[in-house]
Structure 1
């Protein structure tokens, strides 16, 4: 679980980080999967940025879950080689402020990895890489 403990974790609200109750941490115990703990806390998948299903080696993935009560958004951040960490955003404006700050880093990592795979003849073989290589070859004809 990294830095997150079962009692409290960080919650972003009104531009300020506060330590508060961790609904997922409280639901997660030995023998319980993280997905089950997220569901038990009332969260459902809402969005994913840097989806590893699109880019095989996505260096950073941000997965957002939503529920009706506060904190409404669970923001899970996972590095390619590191543990999953999570924080909360109290409401939609807080989430959007947080994403405005974090998304450029995720996009930069995603694009950098994509370019490395495009330039490596033995690089990634995902549908996205194959499509981009084909489009780039077609562009050379013009």
Structure 2
């Protein structure tokens, strides 16, 4: 029985099916490490679940130069791996995928702005405050307020810890 190949390798102008990691892998990160891959770049807003691109690199096992992997992620799922030889190949792939990630990031920001919830230090709130009060003036005040809020929370936690009965 042949193992299905889901990933793609772009080399010398042609796409070839390949498997970057074993088909039965349950620990992708470990298998990538074992194969010599290291995290390279992450492009896009992964902290809020937006579409983003993850890349890896390694020295080519077939000779001089490097190989690169690219995978596109949303909040739950990653695409198949795309492998290319050399940095120019990676840059070509990024030039094709980056506009999609950018569009998803902009759409996510718009959706965040339209959801009706206010976040004191959110993206749109920061822009609005800077438009209303000026970039320099309001930034210092916002940073000071954020620092004071952190201090208040830390003090509250200290008080809560002090009020707890001691363990016997």
TM-score normalised to the size of structure 1? 0.73
Q: How many residues align?
A: 128
The runs of at least 4 aligned residues of structure 1 exceeding 4 Å deviation read 5-8
- Residue matched to 1:120: 115
Q: TM-score, normalised by structure 2?
A: 0.63
Paired residue for 1:38? 32
More strand by share: 1
Q: Secondary structure at the match of 2:53?
A: strand
Please show how residues 45-60 of structure 1 align to structure 2 within 5 Å. 45-53=39-47, 56-58=48-50, 60=51
Q: CA RMSD in A?
A: 2.8
For the Cα contact (< 8 Å) 2:6–2:80, is it kept in 1? Answer: no
- 1:72 is paired with a residue of what secondary structure? strand
Q: Choose between structure 1 and 2 for higher RCO, CA contacts under 8 A separated by at least 6 residues.
A: 1
Q: 1:17 to 1:10 in 2, by over 3 A?
A: farther
How far apart, CA to CA, are the structure 1 residues paired with 2:14 and 2:125?
Answer: 42
Q: CA deviation at 1:44?
A: 0.5
Deviates more, 1:62-71 or 1:129-138: 129-138
| SS of residue paired to 1:18 | strand
Task: Output the CA distance in 2 between the equivalents of 1:99 and 1:106.
Answer: 10
Aligned 8 A contact 2:46 2:75 in 1: no
Q: Contact 1:12 / 1:88 at 8 angstroms: preserved in 2?
A: yes
What is residue 129 of structure 2 aligned with on the other side?
Answer: 137
User: Which has more radius of gyration?
Assistant: 2
Unaligned runs of 5+ in 1: none
Judge conservation of contact 1:10–1:88 (CA < 8 Å) in 2. Answer: yes
Structure 2 stretches lacking a partner, 5+ long: 135-168
SS in 1 for 2:122: helix
